[in-house]
């Protein structure tokens, strides 16, 4: 049961957080099932049963993907990270470095798109407040905090 893995008293957790928790627990369970079916298929000597196990594995992948998409739509934080990293090409750490660079420009009030062209200009016209953006914690930022 998902509530067994709560890390705070249920009555102190918002409905939204609990809903996200349900999705995350379901995704974990689906991915565990993918792993189990894959291992059983690898170990199976009967070809017909192996195909059934692989079919079941693919069904679990479908279930996990559906729940991940729901989570992306429900959580702006998840959406932002998925849009940054999923379905991209090239080394993932280069994508991370680029995302951190763009975030640093935004923190300075500069438009990352304009900076790519060599022009650094304010992200918004003066007088307009920039929307609040969640600050991403990175290993580097956490290390820096420990040195202060």
DSSP assignment of 125-137, as one string? -TTPPPPP-PPPP
State the CB neighbour count (10 A cutoff) for residue 12.
Answer: 8
Residue ranges per structural domain of the chain: 2-82, 90-147
Of all residues in the chain, what percent are helix, strand and coil, respectively (each to 5)? 70, 0, 30
pLDDT tens by residue, 38-93: 999 999 999 999 999 999 999 999 999 999 999 999 999 999 999 999 999 999 99
Phi and psi angles of residue 110, each rounded to the nearest 5 degrees, phi first: -105, 155
Instruction: Tell me the average pLDDT of the chain.
Output: 84
Q: What is the pLDDT of residue 132?
A: 42
For residue 142, give both structure tokens.
């956490």
């Amino acid at each position: 049961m998902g509530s067994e893995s709560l890390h705070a008293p249920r009555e102190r957790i918002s409905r939204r957080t609990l809903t996200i928790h349900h999705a995350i627990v379901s995704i974990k369970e689906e991915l565990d099932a993918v792993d189990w079916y894959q291992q059983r298929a690898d170990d199976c000597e009967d070809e017909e049963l192996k195909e059934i196990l692989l079919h079941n594995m693919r069904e679990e992948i479908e279930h996990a993907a559906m729940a991940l998409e729901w989570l992306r739509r429900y959580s702006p934080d998840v959406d932002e990270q998925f849009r940054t990293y999923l379905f991209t090409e090239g080394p993932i750490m280069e994508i991370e470095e680029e995302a951190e660079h763009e975030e640093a420009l935004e923190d300075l009030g500069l438009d990352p798109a304009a900076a790519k062209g060599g022009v650094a200009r304010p992200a918004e016209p003066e007088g307009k407040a920039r929307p609040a953006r969640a600050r991403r914690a990175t290993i580097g930022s956490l290390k820096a905090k420990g040195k202060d």
